[in-house]
Amino acid sequence: MRCYTAFLGRTLLSTLFVMTTLENVTDFAETQSFMEQAGIPLAGFVLICAIIIKAIGLVSLLLGYKAKIGALLLILLLVPTTIIFHTPTSIAQAGQFVMNLSIIGGLLMVAHFGAGPISIDSPTKRRKKKR
């Protein structure tokens, strides 16, 4: 059971990024407009970059391939997103702010401890240790 916890944690963490990436792609114009209203310059370009970073990070996290780097990419995206869009000015935004802090905490754990035994990186680590 213990070997599955990191895999389950990575999978659950990545679901949020799967959903938001798909939402950003399918509702691109609406998301871009929201970003423009928040004062983000070059909102379309920034949104495309965010989608690419999220996609790379979530695939990395989900598969456990270079998961530490993927987690750091997602943290680098989530910190400014949290500060810009989820300042705790209302109860709803305070909830989003705290939720994002919790997600950042989970990503920091992946960035520190790695993907765990059920991951693409795991066989690579075992081969390196045998040498």
pLDDT at 2: 73
Question: By C-alpha distance, which of 99, 114, 22 is closest to 60?
Answer: 114
Q: Residue 117 belongs to what domain range?
A: 2-130
> What pLDDT does 112 receive?
96
Q: What total number of domains does the chain contain?
A: 1
| Helical axes 67-85 vs 91-113, angle rounded to 10° | 160
Residue with tokens 């399918």: 26
Q: Which of 110, 95, 21 is nearest to 63 (CA)?
A: 110
* 5 contacts: CB under 8 Å, gap ≥ 6: 116
Among residues 11, 4, 1, 12, which one has the least CA distance to residue 117?
4
CB 118, CB 6: distance < 8 Å: yes
Digitized pLDDT (tens) for each residue of the chain, 131 residues in all: 777 999 999 999 999 999 999 999 999 999 999 999 999 999 999 999 999 999 999 999 999 999 999 999 999 999 999 999 998 888 888 999 999 999 999 999 999 999 999 999 886 555 555 55
Burial of 91 (0-12, 13-18, 19+ CB in 10 A): exposed
Using an 8 Å Cβ cutoff, are 121 and 66 in contact? yes
